[in-house]
Amino acid sequence: MDKYFNKVIKYAKKTLSLDKAHTVEMLLTTISGMTTITEVDLEFVNYCNLRCKWCSLDHMQKRSVMTGSLLRKFFDNLLFDRRFRSVKVINLFNGGEILLHPYLESMLNIIKEYKRSFIDKGLIFPKMDFLTNGTVLNAELSGKLVDLDVIDTIRFSVDGGSAEKYEELRKGAKWDVTSKNVRDFIKVNNGKIKTGIICIIESDKPKDTGWMSDEFKDLCSLVGHVELRYPHDWMGDVQVEGYEKVFKNYCKFLFHSLVLLPNGDVAVCCGDLNGKKGVIGNLNEKDMFRIYASRPRREMRYNLLRGRRDKIELCRNCSGYC
């Protein structure tokens, strides 16, 4: 049924005026009882301890830390507005390094509290996906992450394919430290939380681990899943040698995801790491559904489906990366 509604909405935006297409979407939302949002990214902090080669994060921006009250407001929207039962996955990451949040354990306990509330009401709690560079992870923190029983999957950003290339691409990181931290987590975890590695490799390398160093392959063998990616240019904000743009007229992020930034801003795309092009509202000022149904978001989707990419600052130079 959800696929049917999405097809109707997509067709309406291609053939009707903006206002009429919005009316159709809101009518179908009422009928289905749910929005089109399936994933939400929560950024706990907007800063990072590394300076990676292919990252567009602005390290000069004012540092921001998500508060417990903002996190509670977000989960209240999910718990009490049935239209957001469409959300299946919550990603605990965006541009900043989540382990740098000064009250991380307290924030995760808030999530655990809401997980119980969902279960008590007979509702399915979204899957929690955690991403970290692993550089400040330690045995004590690893134990807390496991014991809290909040995270469903934890993935580590470990790039390059060798120790030397890893340290070249992830400036500020040390291979020996990170690899030990990941290994220690694997031991503490004992299979309770699903594990993975996201590895960005140079575009002239094949997407397999055969060419990688033995120590790198050994680390990859310890996790449940390894995803190899080629670098992308973050909507033109980063220069990537040999990167070829292939533009599309549809984007799963713009239609099916939202990003909550530490200051309460809500953006439509995880590619907008600095919240400068795709912000459509602030959760401190409006509820999630009003932001979801806001005119800026409607205009972006409408123009994209009409082939008017040049009218959308966020999408103008983006070719996607998934």
* Residue range 116-121: mean pLDDT, rounded: 98
Which residues are paired to 52 by β-bridges?
170
Query: Residue 30 pLDDT > 60, yes or no?
Result: no
pTM given for the model: 0.89
> Percent of the chain at pLDDT above 70?
87
At 21 the pLDDT is 54
Going by C-alpha positions, the residue among 32, 38, 37, 40 that lies closest to residue 2 is: 32
Can you tell me the distance from the alpha carbon of 13 to that of 29, in angstroms, rounded to the nearest whole number? 15
Provide the 3-class DSSP secondary structure of residue 84. Answer: helix
Can you tell me the distance from the alpha carbon of 69 to that of 106, in angstroms, rounded to the nearest whole number? 11
Residue 196: its H or E element: strand 194-200
Between vectors from CA 11 to CA 10 and to CA 17, what angle results, nearest 5°?
95
pLDDT band for position 1 (cuts 50, 70, 90): very low
Per the listing, tokens 């939202």 go with: 258
Locate 190 and state its tokens. Answer: 């004992």
Can you tell me the distance from the alpha carbon of 30 to that of 35, in angstroms, rounded to the nearest whole number? 9
Can you tell me the distance from the alpha carbon of 114 to that of 112, in angstroms, rounded to the nearest whole number? 5
Is-contact 289 76, C-beta < 8 A?
no
